[in-house]
Amino acid sequence: MDKYRIGIVGMGTMGRNLLLNIASHGFSGAGFDKDATKVRLLEQEGAGMQVKGFVDVTAFIDSLEKPAVIILLVPAGKIVDDVIVELQPLLAKGDIIIDGGNSHFTDTTKRVDQLEAVGLHFFGMGVSGGEEGARYGPSMMPGGDKEAYQYVQPVLEAIAAQVDGEPCVTYIGPGASGHFVKMVHNGIEYAIMQLIADTYEIMRVAQNWGEDKIQETFAEWNKDDLKSYLLEITADIFAYKDTDGTLLVDKIKDEAKSKGTGKWTTQISTDLELPIPTIDLAVALRDLSKYKTLREKLSTVFERQKNDKPVFKDAAFKDLLKQSYTFGLVTIYSQGIHLLSRASEVYNYQLKLNEIARIWRGGCIIRSSFLELIRKGFEREAGLAHLFLDPEVSSILKYTEQSVRTLVAQCITSGVSVPAYANTIGYYDAIRSAELPSNLIQAQRDYFGAHTYELIGKSGVFHTDWAHPSGNIPV
């Protein structure tokens, strides 16, 4: 092969597997990495395929068809900028750079402007699915330079996961929209994982279930309308025994790590003043888990209540738990989608929420049966203000609402920690309230800081000397 259709910088797990995926679909690919060991691994795994590895960046660029198409799969941050600086002198106007890593969307916005100014096409593309997805079909979220996307569209559609004959990739929108959507995807992922962890806690602490019953329940849920990738892998985890025959997950230290994308989602939601409390909570609980020594000390001061008998009657419990999980799942997706809707308005991303739900149905970590319902909801009404307003979604919430109330109330009474479940019902009750007690907060703010307030049915802004009442003073 003299010239290669696609080049990838970064021959780690994701880069190498994505390049092999490209070659498996009939497109030639070149891979570059300064680590010769990774390049050799590419050529070993890609033996007989149209792939070639390079450790020399000039030779790598020279091997590509024109316009050159280069996908970066390197760690987010300064490394992306360093790679672009290294590549730029070797590229010609019209060449295309695609950042396929988990870059912060604000960094992507800057890079779009910088590279456009020198005649290079650039777009950010969220890639979800992990190692397996990269090799056999990920979900991809490209956003930015539409002309550049259209040039590589045939390749991306070929290598993407397929659901109902449709590729799990679409043009997301202008600017950094692709990386923004991937960031929110990861925030949703954090929250669903915490909801599953809460479910595990209920099973083992409230009900004293053994590993077999826990595994069977997760596997059973994954066969019906709750089918999802995260439930699938959870069932697999509870089936995996260590060499001594005991459950491996029980030996893993209870300190959850993260790479920052969940935190970014929380931070930007605060900037946009759009609440996603269950996602925020999931980020906070990962941080809390890291204080292992402190938690151990506090456990001796505040002894945990022991439930010698199951908290719930087993006959009705499985249905109660399943309905509660459904309620939580719907709420988490709804919060994430609401944030996307708000960002689309603020940043003019022109997001098609039905298309985002469609491409999340396969390949990605948060894929689930429920995403088809979301897709249909936004196809019925593209401008839906909140997913809770969709008739099918509202029916699910109404049907499962009482179950989650019962679950949370009894768990709290019995000392079983279920923060994600409690948070979802709290969010539901707040967002469906026509009147919140926030009028009191406004009065307090005006009292101590003269921050003013507005009155119902009366125009203008007012301030009151609360300690010496003399009427409402217009400002």
Residues 283 and 205 in one domain: yes
Is residue 43 within 8 Å of 51, Cβ to Cβ? yes
Tell whether the model's pLDDT for residue 1 goes beyond 60: no
Domain end call among 141, 175, 209: 175
Is residue 227 part of the annotated active site? The answer reads: no
What is the residue-wise DSSP string for 18-46? HHHHHHHTT--EEEE-S-HHHHHHHHHHT
Residue-wise pLDDT for 306-347, tens only, equals 777 889 987 789 999 999 999 999 999 999 999 999 999 999
Tell whether the model's pLDDT for residue 381 goes beyond 70: yes
Residues 408 and 388 in one domain: yes
What is the residue-wise DSSP string for 225-262? TT-BHHHHHHHHHTT-B-TTSSBGGGGS-S-----SHH
Choice among 38, 52, 182, 263 that is catalytic: 182
Give the bridge partners for 247, in sequence order. Answer: 241
**Do the domain assignments include residue 407?**
yes
Choice among 38, 52, 189, 322 that is catalytic: 189
Containing 295, the helix (H) or strand (E) segment is helix 292-301
Average pLDDT over residues 30-53: 93
Is residue 182 part of the annotated active site? The answer reads: yes
The pLDDT-based confidence of 57 (bands split at 50, 70, 90) is very high
Residues 424 and 448 in one domain: no
Q: Which 8-state DSSP code applies to residue 4?
A: B
Contacts of 229 (CB under 8 A, 6+ apart): 364, 365, 366, 367, 368
Residues 157 and 302 in one domain: no
Tell whether the model's pLDDT for residue 282 goes beyond 80: yes
Nearest residue to 288 via CA among 266, 252, 257, 261? 257
Tell whether the model's pLDDT for residue 21 goes beyond 80: yes
Residues 230 and 291 in one domain: yes
Contacts of 123 (CB under 8 A, 6+ apart): 96, 98, 99, 112, 142, 143, 144, 145, 148, 149, 178
Domain count, the chain: 3
Residues 285 and 424 in one domain: yes
The fraction of the chain above a pLDDT of 90, given in percent, is 89
CATH code of residue 44: 3.40.50.720
The pLDDT-based confidence of 474 (bands split at 50, 70, 90) is low
What range defines the domain where residue 96 resides? 6-175
Per-residue pLDDT at 472:
66
Residues 127 and 269 in one domain: no
Domain end call among 154, 175, 196: 175
Q: Other C-beta atoms within 10 Å of 207: how many? A: 20
Question: Mean pLDDT for the chain?
Answer: 94
Residues 199 and 102 in one domain: no
Q: Cis omega (within 30 of 0) on the bond before 167?
A: no
**Do the domain assignments include residue 1?**
no
Per-residue pLDDT at 92:
94
CATH code of residue 458: 1.20.5.320
The pLDDT-based confidence of 304 (bands split at 50, 70, 90) is confident
Per-residue pLDDT at 473:
67
Per-residue pLDDT at 227:
95
Nearest residue to 187 via CA among 126, 238, 108, 111? 126
Tell whether the model's pLDDT for residue 5 goes beyond 70: yes
Residues 419 and 446 in one domain: no
pTM: 0.94
Domain end call among 122, 140, 175: 175
**Do the domain assignments include residue 330?**
yes
Average pLDDT over residues 166-171: 96
Residue-wise pLDDT for 426-470, tens only, equals 999 999 999 999 999 999 999 999 999 999 999 999 999 888 876
The pLDDT-based confidence of 246 (bands split at 50, 70, 90) is very high
CATH code of residue 277: 1.10.1040.10
Residues 321 and 361 in one domain: yes
Distance, CA of 288 to CA of 273 (rounded, Å): 24
Residues 322 and 420 in one domain: yes
Residue-wise pLDDT for 106-154, tens only, equals 999 999 989 999 999 999 999 999 889 999 999 999 999 899 999 999 9
Angle at 108 between CA 332 and CA 67, to 5 degrees: 120
Per-residue pLDDT at 409:
97
Q: Which 8-state DSSP code applies to residue 360?
A: T
Residues 401 and 331 in one domain: yes
